[in-house]
Amino acid sequence: MNILFLGAGIILALMAIAIILYLVTARRYESSASVANSYDQWTEEGILEFYWGEHIHLGHYGSPPQRKNFLTAKADFVYEMVRWGGLDALPANTTVLDVGCGIGGSSRILATEYGFDVTGITISPQQVQRAQELTPEGVNAKFAVDDAMALSFPDASFDVVWSIEAGPHMPDKAIFAQELLRVLKPGGLLVVADWNQRDDRQIPLNGLERMIMKQLLDQWSHPAFSSIEGFSELLEATGYAQGQVVTDDWTEPTLPSWLDSIWQGVTRPEGLVKFGLPGLIKSLREVPTLLLMRVAFGTGLCRFGMFRAIRGNGPGDLTESKSDRMSIITS
């Protein structure tokens, strides 16, 4: 009996230590530098790419969801987003800005399979380097470090602006919405996919939900999640969107991604050989956050939002400088 109590005590102590380490080592958002540092670290380690492939975003499993290879589902997400957004009707050489391009998975599909002229931007220098390494010569996709909160491109630069799961890293969603539409040509197409929180103006978060959201923010360098309704309103408030912003909820077809991402560690034991014990510990460290994500998206606390808008002429003269426009937004 004493041995059983001793064993239980050791297990509880180890669990307590693990929880403390999990909380202490959180990657809390401090600035754009903290986001860049997190992605630089993940890219240099190679663990995220090994398990998640070249697409650092969720997969699409159909509606209703069906069993599918995790990496295949991620590529399928891009094809589904192209169809939903109407990009499949656009001609070759259409210019596309991929905001938050990661290591370039979506950019390469848009360039190779649709013939688009793609520019991918990310805040992470290491992601840019890796995207360039993964992109074969002759593929019409280039990559650069840039800040989505203050894009370096002139007004009306692109036919399409595309973004997957970048919004949670943006501290000011209004400026993010403004920048996405500012660099889009009049008549151009904006297509965004993002993690969103339930609209707490309608149903306030309870104590447990606030605790869960705090961890989802703190662990992966997120300053805040917007709601689908809230971000749609911000896009319309820029004055650039031509007519009403179209939204959709892809929570159901993307939901299996969370548990599948954990299952990768079980079905691909070669990762343990490749990254060793340190890699295993780093991988296990992400499991609680992945489980919390599954809980949040499975209970309606979080939703996977899709946004589509056409750029109108927008407010003011398009030759007005970006600095002038930013001073108006932030005043």
The C-alpha torsion from 269 through 273 and 277 to 281, rounded to 10°, is -40
Mean pLDDT by 10 residues, the chain (331 residues): 55 57 78 93 94 96 96 98 98 98 98 98 98 97 98 97 97 97 97 97 95 95 96 96 93 97 91 90 91 97 98 59 34 27
- pLDDT at residue 242, rounded to an integer: 84
- pLDDT at residue 18, rounded to an integer: 58
- pLDDT at residue 208, rounded to an integer: 96
- pLDDT at residue 317, rounded to an integer: 38
- pLDDT at residue 191, rounded to an integer: 98
Domains and CATH numbers, the chain: 26-312 (3.40.50.150)
- pLDDT at residue 272, rounded to an integer: 87
- Strands, E assignment, the chain: 95-99, 117-122, 141-145, 158-164, 184-197, 246-249, 302-310
- pLDDT at residue 302, rounded to an integer: 98
Query: To 5 degrees, how large is the angle CA 318–CA 319–CA 321?
Result: 105
- pLDDT at residue 243, rounded to an integer: 85
- pLDDT at residue 27, rounded to an integer: 85
In this prediction the pTM is 0.89
Q: Are 77 and 62 a contacting pair, CB within 8 Å?
A: no
Q: What is the DSSP letter of 87?
A: G
* Encoded amino acid at 126, one letter: Q
